[in-house]
A and B are shown apart, each in its own frame.
Chain A
Amino acid sequence: MTRPIAIMLTINAEPVTAMVESRLSLADFLRHQLRLTGTHVGCETGSCGACLVMQDGRVIHGCLTLAVQADGSAIQTIEGLSESGAIADLQAAFHERNALQCGFCTPGVLMTAQELLQLEGVPSREEIRDALSGNYCRCTGYQAIVDSIETTAQRRAVGEAEQPA
């Protein structure tokens, strides 16, 4: 076993200092050390997308990133995106359209959706499906997810994003 390493980073806009084992993944660090359990672990091989978080504004796999690699960066988890209100319209659209069932994949799906929606223009359904190609959902069959992202893109485009209920 190696000696723990000190890391300093911001998580959901709050400064965090922690001692971590060098082998600890960012997802496990968030879940088990910081108790940010909204980030999920589904495959540990970067295939399923349940562990997606944002690092300096880009979506990354929490299972393929070591906690030590997050040193000095700004991490956003579902808890942060949710509490800041940044994805309130997206969450409302998912809720209205029932774009989730068990909800285990949902935080990762919302990360992908938010990154896609930050690009210019309204994506086509095909582009949405393509963007979701790294998010596995066993429950919904994806259609409601695509619908919700499409709806949010259209609402954002016309500047009429509804406030969440």
Chain B
Amino acid sequence: MNKPLSRVDRPNSYIGKSLPRPNAKRLLAGRGRFVDDIQLPRMLHAAFARSPYAHARIVSIDVSAARAAPGVRRVVVGSDIAKLCMPWTGTLRHFKDMKSPPQSPLAIDTVVWAGQPVVAVLADSRAQAEDAVELIAINYEERDVVVGIDAALAPGATLVHDALGDNLAFQTTIENGAVATAFNDAAAVVEVDLRFGRHTPVTLEPRTLIADFEPGERALTVHHSTQTPYQFQDIYARHFGLDESRVRVIAPDIGGSFGMKLHVYPEDMAVVALSIIAERPVKYVADRGESFLNDIHLRDHRVRAKLALTQDGRFAGMRVQDDTAIGAFSAYPRTSAVEGNQVVRLMGAPYQLTNYRADLRVIFQNLPQTSQYRGVGHPIACAATERLVDLAAKKLGLDPFEIRRRNYVTDEMYPHTTATGYRFERLSLDQCLSKLHALMDYPALRAEQAQLREQGIHRGIGIATYVEITNPSPAFYGVGGAHISAQDGCVLKVTPSGDVQCAISVTEQGQGTETIIGQIVADQLGVDRERVRVLTGDTETTPHGGATWACRGAGIGGETALQATRKLRSNILEIAGAILQSRPDTLELADGKLIERETGTVRMNLGELAALVYFRSDTLPPDLKADLTVAQHFAPKGFPFAFTNGIHGSLVEVDVETGFIKLLKHWVVEDCGRIINPMLVDEQIRGGVVQGLGAALFEECLYNDAGQLMNGSMADYLVPMAGEIPDIVIAHVETPTLDTELGAKGCGEAGTSAASGAVLNAVNDALGPLQVQISQIPMTPQRILRALGTVQ
């Protein structure tokens, strides 16, 4: 396996090359086609009346004035829709004893978060629908609200759902080795109590969908801003009792997703129901305020952890308690337990550590749901682990690089199983560490830091190691009963002129999926990449598959494309052999031509071959199987996940007068296995890093005790903008996975996974000489000044 994939002297050697994205030109010309750009005949627009309260009983609803408003075609309440849509429940079987109540598109008796949709209005325009929403009168009886983690767990706490008996959605404990002994015998123990601010993805294109129900055939077409069209095809079919073959989900250009647009939202289901009721297309576009209220939130965690140390600076044991609050419902169909579950399984993962215990509690509260977003648990586990490691280094008088080197899983240990049961095929921890040391010019940075400190300038240097779960097998969702595919499918077709069309189930949200798939197909077939057209994002024209999430597009989708291409190539050589009366193994495809393998002599063009197959089958031998369309499916079968690894470095300057933190530079060394397109990998890393920097310094959904969002606009919720962000330096180590021919692993989440941890360590490094530390992100100026004792 992992034979050389392409010869550099070959004309179509594309794997490993930085090539621009063919589909980007459209977007640059303003010719993208996002869901809100689509207008269908007779289309109606939906708007929702939402609960202003975080917890209340619905006493009465009066929609008479709304029904009479100009342009209004339908006004629909929860009980109208409940008849059409089977409720959904955000639990999975492999999360033992997990609970979450069934959820319906519109609230029926009670509301459990502020922003929950209660009534839907359909009108000729969105403005008219919104006007009518203003005329809906809903009487509520307010109930007590539970927001904080401690309040939710306290005896006699207000319950988010009375029927569940408590506010605990899920809990689990992982234990391995002799943890108590490790702590009893420890030479030293360091500990952290870290708070992570709840934030939200803020994709620039909001959630958008158009549902178009055709009653004659009971066919449903949904134009949906999602990264997982196949998952939604399944969900719409099952929950609305439709034939799956007649449900088509089309994901056109998607304006950012990052995990946010793969969850089921009440509005999605309501819009499908409204289209069935009205028998007309219905469009819904979340406005920015609705996005803040109802897009998934994430990473609301409190992590308390301890690390036991030996005298010689080895990690002897770790204890972790992660409490995470997930809002009022567990998300469907992936649940809201995955993030916490990954935190407790990834803590300490890069290190030799056998004595480990972690307890996880996943908690309901009267807030919007949290769920998976880029990095899922990794940034929390990374920041908490790496904070402990830095504290350990400080306690033992070791350099942060040295303590990591001393404790990493080493090259001889692979394949390695962590204390939590994760299996690593092979990582490159030490190589990445050394490379980062050189890339940063670490000794020079330390010298500069010392010099500047004398001038009262407080610079900090922080590093953070991560391991990342990529190429997930069915162990992620399938085993828990979720209808989420871990395999992908690819159909390749040679057109009569010798072009190639590739329909594949991994999807594009701008990361370059279509580009890298095109590179793989052209490289493996031996044609110019201009002649390969890649089609994605339509359940009716592409094979069923997992699509794009959890870092699987290159690793799983890419391998699917590679295997499909080898199958097609074999067919083509077989056909060519028959036509040219040569043995297939003496022929080769290069630059779209069939050539003699030994001499390179051109025998015929691929187009000539295809034309004979399609138009003159009478000239071919009767027993020749002349298939110029092939289908291939692929699912990971070796290691359950292809783990990647890497390390970030951060240089910051803290203004101790104002509390402002200036990010000066950020470095990443990462190993995602075989790199298909270095430029696209680098840009995935950079974008991911900046999302992590947002978490470190800016982003937080601020709720008051009544469960009301205090900063639900882009003027109030801070996202990273160009002026605050430093240039990001990236280097690579390549350790291909041997589980596939391609050898690629994921890279989409590597940037986000360690950026906040590196900055947290850097800021604490800057604050160190002042004898204070900060244990909460985002590290706002106010929190820095509080840590410094300047303000209360």
Q: Mark A54-98, 1 if CB is under 8 A from B, else 0.
A: 000000000000000000000001110010000000010011111
Whether B203 and A138, one on each chain, are in contact in the complex, defined by CB atoms closer than 8 angstroms, is yes
Q: How far is the CA of A50 from the CA of B39 in the complex (A)?
A: 20
Which of A31, A48, A98, A107 is the one whose CB lies under 8 Å from B21? A98
Q: How far is the CA of A48 from the CA of B206 in the complex (A)?
A: 12
Whether B686 and A141, one on each chain, are in contact in the complex, defined by CB atoms closer than 8 angstroms, is yes
Query: In the complex, which residues of chain A have a beta carbon less than 8 angstroms from the beta carbon of B34?
Result: 37, 40, 104
Whether A37 and B37, one on each chain, are in contact in the complex, defined by CB atoms closer than 8 angstroms, is yes
Shortest A155–chain B CB gap in Å is 16
Whether B256 and A102, one on each chain, are in contact in the complex, defined by CB atoms closer than 8 angstroms, is yes
Whether A132 and B721, one on each chain, are in contact in the complex, defined by CB atoms closer than 8 angstroms, is yes
The reply on A34 being an interface residue by CB < 8 A is no
Tell whether A78 pairs with B24 under 8 Å between CB atoms, given A42-B204, A45-B288, A105-B204.
no
Whether B256 and A100, one on each chain, are in contact in the complex, defined by CB atoms closer than 8 angstroms, is no
Q: Mark B239-268, 1 if CB is under 8 A from A, else 0.
A: 000000000000001111010000000000
The reply on A26 being an interface residue by CB < 8 A is no
Query: In the complex, which residues of chain B have a beta carbon less than 8 angstroms from the beta carbon of A45?
Result: 288, 713-715
In chain A between 88 and 141, which residues have their CB closer than 8 angstroms to a CB of chain B?
A: 91, 94-98, 100-107, 110, 125, 128-130, 132-141
Whether B509 and A101, one on each chain, are in contact in the complex, defined by CB atoms closer than 8 angstroms, is yes
Q: How far is the CA of A45 from the CA of B689 in the complex (A)?
A: 26
Query: In the complex, which residues of chain B have a beta carbon less than 8 angstroms from the beta carbon of A79?
Result: 29-31
Q: How far is the CA of A146 from the CA of B725 in the complex (A)?
A: 11
Q: How far is the CA of A142 from the CA of B683 in the complex (A)?
A: 10
- Interface pairs A-B: 4 shortest CB-CB: A38-B30, A103-B27, A101-B510, A104-B255
Query: In the complex, which residues of chain A have a beta carbon less than 8 angstroms from the beta carbon of B205?
Result: 40, 42, 102, 104
The reply on A17 being an interface residue by CB < 8 A is no
Q: How far is the CA of A57 from the CA of B688 in the complex (A)?
A: 35
Tell whether A44 pairs with B70 under 8 Å between CB atoms, given A133-B722, A142-B722.
no
In chain B between 11 and 38, which residues have their CB closer than 8 angstroms to a CB of chain A?
A: 20-21, 24-34, 36-37
Q: 8 pairs across A/B with beta carbons < 8 Å?
A: A82-B29, A96-B20, A100-B27, A101-B511, A139-B256, A140-B683, A141-B688, A145-B722
The reply on B691 being an interface residue by CB < 8 A is yes
Whether B30 and A104, one on each chain, are in contact in the complex, defined by CB atoms closer than 8 angstroms, is no
Query: In the complex, which residues of chain A have a beta carbon less than 8 angstroms from the beta carbon of B721?
Result: 132-136, 142
Which of B30, B39, B70, B687 is the one whose CB lies under 8 Å from A1? B70
Which of A43, A77, A91, A103 is the one whose CB lies under 8 Å from B253? A103
For residue A48, which residue of chain B has the nearest CB? B714
Which of A23, A37, A44, A136 is the one whose CB lies under 8 Å from B127? A23
Tell whether A78 pairs with B29 under 8 Å between CB atoms, given A45-B714, A103-B24, A143-B686.
yes
Whether B24 and A100, one on each chain, are in contact in the complex, defined by CB atoms closer than 8 angstroms, is yes
Q: How far is the CA of A123 from the CA of B683 in the complex (A)?
A: 23
Query: In the complex, which residues of chain B have a beta carbon less than 8 angstroms from the beta carbon of A41?
Result: 36
Q: Mark B674-715, 1 if CB is under 8 A from A, else 0.
A: 000001100100111111000000000000000000000111
Q: How far is the CA of A134 from the CA of B294 in the complex (A)?
A: 25
**Known pairs A140-B686, A140-B687 / 9 extra A-B pairs, C-beta < 8 Å:** A39-B30, A95-B24, A98-B679, A98-B683, A100-B24, A104-B32, A104-B34, A104-B204, A129-B723
Q: Mark B253-296, 1 if CB is under 8 A from A, else 0.
A: 11110100000000000000000000000000001100000000
Q: How far is the CA of A134 from the CA of B722 in the complex (A)?
A: 9
Whether B713 and A47, one on each chain, are in contact in the complex, defined by CB atoms closer than 8 angstroms, is yes
Whether B204 and A141, one on each chain, are in contact in the complex, defined by CB atoms closer than 8 angstroms, is no
Q: How far is the CA of A29 from the CA of B683 in the complex (A)?
A: 34
The reply on B402 being an interface residue by CB < 8 A is no
In chain A between 8 and 37, which residues have their CB closer than 8 angstroms to a CB of chain B?
A: 21, 23, 31-32, 35-37
Q: Mark B540-568, 1 if CB is under 8 A from A, else 0.
A: 00000000000000000000000000000
The reply on A144 being an interface residue by CB < 8 A is yes
Shortest A18–chain B CB gap in Å is 16
Tell whether A102 pairs with B714 under 8 Å between CB atoms, given A40-B34, A141-B687.
no
Shortest B14–chain A CB gap in Å is 16
Tell whether A102 pairs with B728 under 8 Å between CB atoms, given A39-B30, A47-B715, A48-B204.
no
Whether A139 and B687, one on each chain, are in contact in the complex, defined by CB atoms closer than 8 angstroms, is yes
Interface of A is mostly: loop
Q: How far is the CA of A49 from the CA of B728 in the complex (A)?
A: 23
The reply on B202 being an interface residue by CB < 8 A is yes
For residue B511, which residue of chain A has the nearest CB? A101
Whether A138 and B714, one on each chain, are in contact in the complex, defined by CB atoms closer than 8 angstroms, is no
Q: How far is the CA of A140 from the CA of B723 in the complex (A)?
A: 14
Tell whether A103 pairs with B719 under 8 Å between CB atoms, given A42-B288, A98-B679, A143-B686.
no
Whether A50 and B287, one on each chain, are in contact in the complex, defined by CB atoms closer than 8 angstroms, is no
For residue B131, which residue of chain A has the nearest CB? A1
Shortest A11–chain B CB gap in Å is 13
Whether B715 and A102, one on each chain, are in contact in the complex, defined by CB atoms closer than 8 angstroms, is no
Q: How far is the CA of A134 from the CA of B28 in the complex (A)?
A: 19
For residue B19, which residue of chain A has the nearest CB? A98
For residue A21, which residue of chain B has the nearest CB? B127
Q: How far is the CA of A79 from the CA of B30 in the complex (A)?
A: 6
Q: How far is the CA of A103 from the CA of B22 in the complex (A)?
A: 13
Q: How far is the CA of A132 from the CA of B723 in the complex (A)?
A: 7
Whether A102 and B255, one on each chain, are in contact in the complex, defined by CB atoms closer than 8 angstroms, is yes
Query: In the complex, which residues of chain A have a beta carbon less than 8 angstroms from the beta carbon of B150?
Result: none
Query: In the complex, which residues of chain A have a beta carbon less than 8 angstroms from the beta carbon of B719?
Result: 136, 138
Whether A91 and B254, one on each chain, are in contact in the complex, defined by CB atoms closer than 8 angstroms, is no
Shortest A138–chain B CB gap in Å is 5
Query: In the complex, which residues of chain B have a beta carbon less than 8 angstroms from the beta carbon of A133?
Result: 721-723
Shortest B228–chain A CB gap in Å is 16
Whether B28 and A132, one on each chain, are in contact in the complex, defined by CB atoms closer than 8 angstroms, is no
In chain B between 54 and 101, which residues have their CB closer than 8 angstroms to a CB of chain A?
A: 70
Q: How far is the CA of A31 from the CA of B126 in the complex (A)?
A: 13
Whether A94 and B37, one on each chain, are in contact in the complex, defined by CB atoms closer than 8 angstroms, is no
Q: Mark B333-348, 1 if CB is under 8 A from A, else 0.
A: 0000000000000000
Tell whether A142 pairs with B258 under 8 Å between CB atoms, given A43-B288, A43-B714, A103-B32.
no
Query: In the complex, which residues of chain B have a beta carbon less than 8 angstroms from the beta carbon of A98?
Result: 20-21, 24, 512, 679-680, 683
Shortest B136–chain A CB gap in Å is 18
Q: How far is the CA of A147 from the CA of B715 in the complex (A)?
A: 27
Query: In the complex, which residues of chain A have a beta carbon less than 8 angstroms from the beta carbon of B751?
Result: 141
For residue B677, which residue of chain A has the nearest CB? A98
Tell whether A103 pairs with B686 under 8 Å between CB atoms, given A91-B28, A132-B722, A141-B728.
no
Q: How far is the CA of A38 from the CA of B255 in the complex (A)?
A: 13
The reply on B185 being an interface residue by CB < 8 A is no
Whether A101 and B683, one on each chain, are in contact in the complex, defined by CB atoms closer than 8 angstroms, is yes
Whether A143 and B20, one on each chain, are in contact in the complex, defined by CB atoms closer than 8 angstroms, is no
Whether B20 and A136, one on each chain, are in contact in the complex, defined by CB atoms closer than 8 angstroms, is no
Which of A31, A102, A140, A141 is the one whose CB lies under 8 Å from B509? A102
Query: In the complex, which residues of chain B have a beta carbon less than 8 angstroms from the beta carbon of A95?
Result: 20-21, 24-25, 28
Shortest A132–chain B CB gap in Å is 4
Interface centre among A100, A103, A110 (most CB of B within 10 A): A103
Query: In the complex, which residues of chain B have a beta carbon less than 8 angstroms from the beta carbon of A38?
Result: 29-32
For residue A94, which residue of chain B has the nearest CB? B28
Q: How far is the CA of A41 from the CA of B258 in the complex (A)?
A: 19
Query: In the complex, which residues of chain A have a beta carbon less than 8 angstroms from the beta carbon of B24?
Result: 94-95, 98, 100, 103
Query: In the complex, which residues of chain B have a beta carbon less than 8 angstroms from the beta carbon of A94?
Result: 24, 28
Q: How far is the CA of A36 from the CA of B30 in the complex (A)?
A: 9
Query: In the complex, which residues of chain A have a beta carbon less than 8 angstroms from the beta carbon of B206?
Result: 42
Shortest A48–chain B CB gap in Å is 6
In chain B between 564 and 595, which residues have their CB closer than 8 angstroms to a CB of chain A?
A: none
The reply on B399 being an interface residue by CB < 8 A is no
Interface centre among B33, B201, B510, B713 (most CB of A within 10 A): B510
Tell whether A91 pairs with B29 under 8 Å between CB atoms, given A45-B715, A130-B723.
yes
The reply on B727 being an interface residue by CB < 8 A is yes
Q: How far is the CA of A45 from the CA of B512 in the complex (A)?
A: 30
Shortest A46–chain B CB gap in Å is 8
Shortest B10–chain A CB gap in Å is 23
Q: How far is the CA of A103 from the CA of B26 in the complex (A)?
A: 9
Interface centre among B258, B512, B691, B714 (most CB of A within 10 A): B714
Q: How far is the CA of A31 from the CA of B287 in the complex (A)?
A: 15
